[in-house]
Amino acid sequence: MWKPDKNNEATNEIAAIMDWQFMHEGSPMTDLATLLVNSVSGDVRREAEEFIIDFYHGLLEKEMKEVGKSCPYTIDQLKEAYNHMYLALVYGLLMFAKLLKEYFKTDPPRLREAKIDVAILRCRHAMEDMDRLLSGPMKHLLGYQRGKISDESA
């Protein structure tokens, strides 16, 4: 989208970039999980996860109230939706990290290794949090119990 001038005419200055390739109706947590899993390091993602869903819910409640409607989701529903999307997206992150080695092949060796180390740490944090979810609040999925499939799911 181009920034308008004083006469509301388009300029050559970018105001926003819209990515329409994944445009669909769905859970708002899909967008949030995609942003956090694919765009930031594990420490930044973990920090954001401490407050961002509560913050989003507060804003959504306020906006809905202003148009005379009630919020369609509880905080717990949003957190569960986020967790489901997080689990799905981690697999893609792991596949993408594998491709980075090829992508970085033209970098000088020290720089390439540093970039690969960052990707490995990001994947490690993602896998740790996947394990935390699947052995805790999301353990009902696949009967997962600390690396084993439980007898209950068989």
Total Cβ atoms within 10 A of residue 46: 14
Residue 153: predicted pLDDT: 47
Residue 140: predicted pLDDT: 87
- Tokens 């180390």 — which residue? 117
Dihedrals phi, psi of 108, to nearest 5 degrees: -60, 150
| Residue range 3-54, pLDDT digits in tens | 889 998 888 998 887 777 766 788 889 999 999 998 999 999 999 999 999 9
> How far is it, in rounded angstroms, from Cα 138 to Cα 133?
5
Sketch the domain layout of the chain as residue ranges. Answer: 28-153
The sign of the dihedral angle between the CA atoms of 90, 96, 97, 98 is: positive
Least confident interval from 48-62, 78-92, 102-116:
102-116
Instruction: Find, among 114, 110, 45, the residue nearest to 83 by Cα.
Output: 45
The conformation of residue 151, written as its DSSP 8-state character, comes to G
CB 29 within 8 A of CB 56: no
